[in-house]
Amino acid sequence: MAAKGVGEETSTGLTPGSLRELIEKSDHVLRSTVKTIGGKIWAYPSPGLYPGAWNWDTPQIAEGLFHSDKETAIRLLEDFLTMQWENGMIPHIVFPQLTPGERLQKDVYFPPPSIWYITDDHIQDYAQVPAAAYENHPAYKATGGRTTGITQYPIWAISLKNMYDYEQQQHTSHPEMALQLTPERLAGLVEKLNKSHQWFHEHRDPLNLGIVAEFHPWMGCDNAPCYDRAMARIAAGTTPEELALIKTQRTDLKAIKARNGDSSERPTDLDYAAYIKIAHRLARVTEKEMKGEAVTIDDIPFAVYSPMLTGMLIRAERDLAALAQAAGRKDIAEEARKRADRMSKSMVGHLWDNRAGQFCYLDAKGMEKEPVKFIGTCFPLLDETLPPAIRTAVKKRLQADYITDFGIASASKDNPERVPGKPGYDPCRYWRGPIWDNVTRLLRPFTTDPGSLRDGALKRALDNGCREYSNPETGAGLGGHDFGWTAGAVRADAEARLHELEAQTPALQRQTHASIHQPGGIKPDIIKKSRDSTGFFLE
Ligand code: GLC
For the CA of 45, the closest atom of ligand 1 is: 12
pLDDT at 527: 32
Measuring CA to CA, which residue among 43, 94, 96, 81 is closest to residue 537? Answer: 43
Using DSSP, state whether 137 is helix, strand or coil: coil
Give the distance (Å) from ligand 1 centre to CA of residue 222: 8
CA-CA-CA-CA torsion sign (290, 296, 298, 304): positive
Per-residue model confidence as pLDDT tens digits over 435-493: 999 999 999 999 999 999 999 999 999 999 999 999 999 999 998 899 999 999 999 99
pLDDT of residue 523: 37
Q: What per-residue confidence (pLDDT) applies to 9?
A: 63
Centre of ligand 1 to C-alpha 220, Å, is: 6
What pLDDT is stored for residue 506 in this prediction?
65
Q: Which stretch of 80-84, 120-124, 257-261, 461-465 has the lowest confidence by average pLDDT?
A: 257-261
Closest C-alpha to ligand 1, atom 3: 220
532 pLDDT above the threshold of 80: no
Nearest atom (ligand 1) to Cα of 480: 12
Phi, psi dihedrals of residue 303, rounded to the nearest 5°: -150, 105
pLDDT of residue 426: 95
Q: Ligand 1: distance of its center to the CA of 178 in Å?
A: 35
pLDDT averaged over the chain? 91
Angle at which helices 484-503 and 57-65 cross, to 10°: 30
Q: Dihedral of CA 373/376/380/381: which sign? A: positive
Amino acid at 508: L
Planar angle of CA 372, 302, 149, nearest 5 degrees: 120
**Phi, psi at residue 149, to the nearest 5°?**
-110, 15
CA–CA dist 429, 462 (Å, integer): 23
Q: Is the pLDDT of residue 526 over 70?
A: no
HSE of 498, CA atoms in CB hemisphere, 13 A: 24
Q: Is 145 in the pocket of ligand 1 (CB under 6 A)?
A: no
Give pLDDT tens digits for 146-191. Answer: 999 999 999 999 999 999 999 999 999 999 999 999 999 999 999 9
Q: Angle, nearest 10°, between helix axes 156-173 and 307-326?
A: 40
Checking DSSP bridges between strand 361-363 and strand 368-370, what pairing results, if any?
A: antiparallel
Quick one: pLDDT band at residue 8, thresholds 50, 70, 90? low
Amino acid, single-letter form, for residue 177:
M
Mean pLDDT in residue range 104-127: 90
Which residue's alpha carbon is nearest to atom 9 within ligand 1? 220
Instruction: Please tell me which residue, 522 or 257, carries the higher pLDDT value.
Output: 257
pLDDT score recorded for residue 505: 75
How far, in Å, CA of 90 to CA of 197, rounded? 10
Pocket test for ligand 1, best of 222, 223, 266 (most atoms within 8 A of CB): 222
Taking the CA of residue 483 as reference, the ligand 1 atom at the shortest distance is: 12
Which residues are within 8 A (CB) of 89 and not within 5 positions of it... i.e. 6 or more apart?
A: 150, 151, 196, 199, 203
3-state secondary structure of 176: coil
Cα–Cα distance, 67 to 445 (Å, whole number): 21
pLDDT score at 107: 78
- pLDDT greater than 80 at residue 258: no
Closest CA to 24 of 538, 531, 530, 502: 530
Ligand 1 pocket member 153 (CB < 6 A): no
> Which pLDDT band, with edges at 50, 70 and 90, does 507 fall under?
low
Percent of the chain with pLDDT over 90: 82
**pLDDT score, position 511:** 54
Over residues 180-220, the pLDDT tens digits come to 999 999 999 999 999 999 999 999 999 999 999 999 999 99
